Amino acid sequence: MKRFFEKISFKQFSEDIANDSKLYEEYNLPKRSTKNSAGYDFWSIEDFVIKPGEIKKIPTGIKVSMENDEMLMLVVRSSMGFKYNVRLCNQVGIIESDYYNNPSNEGHMWIKLQNHGDKEYIIKKGDAYLQGIFTKFLTVDNEKNINEERTGGFGSTSKGDRNE
């Protein structure tokens, strides 16, 4: 499997965002801004405002394919946290390879941002607001075979594994 970003299907876009083919055609896939950038910038599909104390769920319109031993870390752009105190609710989003094309949502990546600042945070359509960083990960040598497969979207990997 190769590493790449792609748009979710128009059908999924219509369900999750808007039944608007012009909007679907207009938004771009993530890309790096400079040759030494670690992160792939994600651009907003639409304008949105996050009021102080507010949490906003934001669709990216993007899914990602990668190797089985890789993950994509999603983080806000540095200036958002440093200058405006806006951050991801889960601090770092982790996307695994089996999230791609899952049966629940095609692997559509969503984020939740929270404004911990004291002013409205405004993102205009086309503004960069998120970065995706690919990285390899390791597993322990004495791990038993894992035969479970993802059967859903967000949060589905821990279903049935509740040893609390």
Q: Confirm if 128 and 41 have CB atoms less than 8 A apart.
A: yes
Helix (H, G, I), strand (E, B) or coil at 29: coil
Helix (H, G, I), strand (E, B) or coil at 80: helix
pLDDT at 163: 37
Task: Say what the alpha-carbon torsion angle 53, 57, 63, 67 is, to the nearest 10 degrees.
Answer: 50
Q: Confirm if 27 and 43 have CB atoms less than 8 A apart.
A: yes
pLDDT at 32: 97
pLDDT at 147: 76
Report pTM.
0.85
Q: For the chain, list the domains and their CATH numbers.
A: 4-137 (2.70.40.10)
pLDDT in tens, 24-82: 999 999 999 999 999 999 999 999 999 999 999 999 999 999 999 999 999 999 899 99
From CA 137, how far away is CA 115, in angstroms rounded? 31
Q: Confirm if 52 and 117 have CB atoms less than 8 A apart.
A: yes
Q: What letter represents residue 49's amino acid?
A: V
Confidence of residue 144 (pLDDT cuts 50, 70, 90): confident
Residue 160 has pLDDT above 60, yes or no: no
More confident residue, 101 or 159: 101
Across the beta sheet with 110-115, what order do the strands follow? Answer: 55-59, 110-115, 86-88
Residue 39 CB partners (closer than 8 Å, separation 6+): 32, 75, 131, 132, 133
pLDDT at 90: 92
Q: Confirm if 66 and 134 have CB atoms less than 8 A apart.
A: yes
Q: What residue has token string 């949490």?
A: 55
Average pLDDT value for the chain: 91
Percent above pLDDT 90 for the chain: 81
Residue 154 has pLDDT above 70, yes or no: no
